[in-house]
């Protein structure tokens, strides 16, 4: 009999996480199929799709003509084509933009609403999966396809897995569980992504940043050797002329607050609060602390004090 234990929406840092199943209701999965799918995505995304193995997944961006990021996506081979996972808040807008020129290509782009995205993280996550699957992905093979299930492996911030399941497979997995396991909502996975340094682009922050401003170059989410794609000239110019001065950063502070994505971030310089960046994402941890992901417009000292405009809570760089 399944033994689910509710965490009552309490979010834990990776270092304190027990075995947890995470329902990724704030993410969506999009399927791109057809004989032109590789070529089409190659002309749209910041990475070289031709070099993506069937056994790997990658972070990249879909940008507009001005080199600003529509969405950050996690791309991998899926069924007869490709799938990517992104924040649900931006999906409708991003899919519309991706489809703009598809009339001339033999592809089909569909949001898969009948698929479960399930995260598994915490203590003994690998041992748990081995009870249900013959093969489990690892560093050498980060993606495993087994029948109708795809499993993605993540190294950071601690080993974790993302399961792409049909409704039938999800119900079977849930019914077959015979040990205690916590379950939680998307905020738990969001915190793990922030800890891992993966940029979170919501609808409110779409088209505001270049890929370099959110560290996609450092995360190997940009190819500077492939051919043209939307925004490529501007993105390449920023890279080769070293024009980027922004960076992605996570901060931690005491207390529980809920500012809006897109809020201004301020830094204290000689007792004066100055604008320094923009808030991308926020998670309240154990109802005691608040972790935020921000884009900083210029370098700062690790000892600087920060706050979100309109709030008194002090934040420090999260090491």
pLDDT digits (tens, 9 = 90+) for 11-67: 999 999 999 999 999 999 999 999 999 999 999 999 999 999 999 999 999 999 999
Is the pLDDT score of 8 beyond 90? no
Give the integer Cα–Cα distance in Å for 298 and 245: 6
CATH number at residue 274: 2.40.30.160
Q: Pick from 172, 196, 220: which residue ends a domain?
A: 196
Is the pLDDT score of 5 beyond 70? no
**pLDDT classification of 237: cutoffs 50, 70, 90:** very high
What pLDDT does residue 7 have?
Answer: 54
Inside any domain, residue 202? no
Alpha helices by DSSP H, listed for 61-210, are 88-99, 125-129, 167-176, 186-196
Inside any domain, residue 30? yes
Instruction: Compute the average pLDDT of residues 106-113.
Output: 96
**Are 163 and 285 contained in the same domain?**
no
How many domains, the chain?
2
**Are 76 and 216 contained in the same domain?**
no
What pLDDT does residue 104 have?
Answer: 87
Supply the range of the domain harboring residue 231: 209-309
Is the pLDDT score of 2 beyond 50? no
**Are 170 and 221 contained in the same domain?**
no
**Are 28 and 124 contained in the same domain?**
yes
**HSE-CB of 315 using CA atoms within 13 angstroms:** 28
Is the pLDDT score of 315 beyond 60? yes
Q: Which residues of 170-198 are buried (b: 16+ CB within 10 A; e: fewer)?
A: beebeeebeeebbbbebbbbbbbbbbbbb
Instruction: Compute the average pLDDT of residues 164-189.
Output: 89
Inside any domain, residue 236? yes
Q: What is residue 49's three-state secondary structure?
A: helix
The greatest distance separating any two alpha carbons of the chain, rounded to the nearest whole angstrom, comes to 60
> 109 and 102 in contact (C-beta within 8 Å)?
yes
**pLDDT classification of 1: cutoffs 50, 70, 90:** very low
Instruction: Compute the average pLDDT of residues 165-176.
Output: 88
**Are 94 and 134 contained in the same domain?**
yes
Q: Name the more confident of 105 and 175.
A: 105
CATH number at residue 81: 3.30.1360.120
Q: What is the mean pLDDT of the chain?
A: 94
State yes or no: 189 annotated in a binding site: yes
Q: Pick from 154, 173, 196: which residue ends a domain?
A: 196
Tell me what percent of the chain is helix, strand and coil, each rounded to the nearest 5. Answer: 20, 35, 45
**Are 105 and 229 contained in the same domain?**
no
**Are 26 and 48 contained in the same domain?**
yes
Give the least confident one: 135-139, 289-293, 298-302. 298-302
Predicted model pTM: 0.95
Q: Pick from 138, 163, 196: which residue ends a domain?
A: 196
**Are 148 and 74 contained in the same domain?**
yes
**Are 240 and 215 contained in the same domain?**
yes
State yes or no: 70 annotated in a binding site: no
Inside any domain, residue 144? yes
Instruction: Compute the average pLDDT of residues 186-193.
Output: 97
Inside any domain, residue 240? yes
């Amino acid at each position: 009999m399944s033994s689910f234990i509710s965490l009552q929406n309490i979010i834990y840092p990776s270092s304190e996480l027990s075995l947890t199943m995470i329902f990724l209701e704030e993410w969506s999965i999009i399927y791109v199929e057809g004989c032109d799918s590789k070529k089409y995505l190659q002309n749209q995304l910041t990475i070289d799709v031709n070099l993506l193995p069937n056994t790997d997944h990658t972070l990249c961006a879909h940008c507009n003509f001005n080199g600003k990021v529509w969405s950050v996506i996690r791309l991998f081979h899926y069924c007869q084509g490709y799938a990517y996972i992104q924040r649900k808040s931006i999906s409708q807008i991003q899919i519309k933009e991706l489809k703009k020129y598809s009339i001339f290509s033999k592809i089909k782009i569909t949001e898969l609403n009948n698929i479960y995205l399930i995260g598994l993280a915490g203590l003994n996550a690998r041992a748990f999966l081995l009870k249900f699957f013959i093969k489990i992905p690892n560093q050498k093979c980060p993606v495993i396809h087994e029948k109708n299930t795809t499993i993605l492996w993540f190294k950071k911030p601690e080993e974790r897995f993302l399961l792409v399941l049909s409704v039938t497979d999800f119900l079977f997995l849930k019914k077959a569980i015979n040990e205690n396991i916590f379950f939680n909502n998307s905020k738990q996975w969001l915190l793990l992504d922030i800890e891992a340094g993966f940029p979170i682009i919501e609808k409110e922050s779409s088209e505001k940043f270049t890929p370099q401003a959110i560290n996609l170059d450092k995360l190997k989410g940009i190819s500077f050797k492939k051919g043209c794609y939307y925004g490529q000239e501007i993105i390449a110019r920023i890279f080769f002329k070293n024009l980027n001065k922004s960076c992605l950063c996570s901060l931690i502070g005491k207390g529980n607050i809920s500012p809006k994505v897109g809020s201004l971030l301020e830094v204290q310089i000689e007792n004066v609060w100055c604008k320094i960046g923009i808030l991308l994402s926020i998670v309240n941890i154990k109802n005691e602390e608040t972790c935020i992901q921000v884009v900083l417009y210029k370098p700062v000292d690790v000892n600087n004090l920060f706050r979100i405009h309109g709030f008194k809570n002090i934040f420090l760089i999260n090491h």
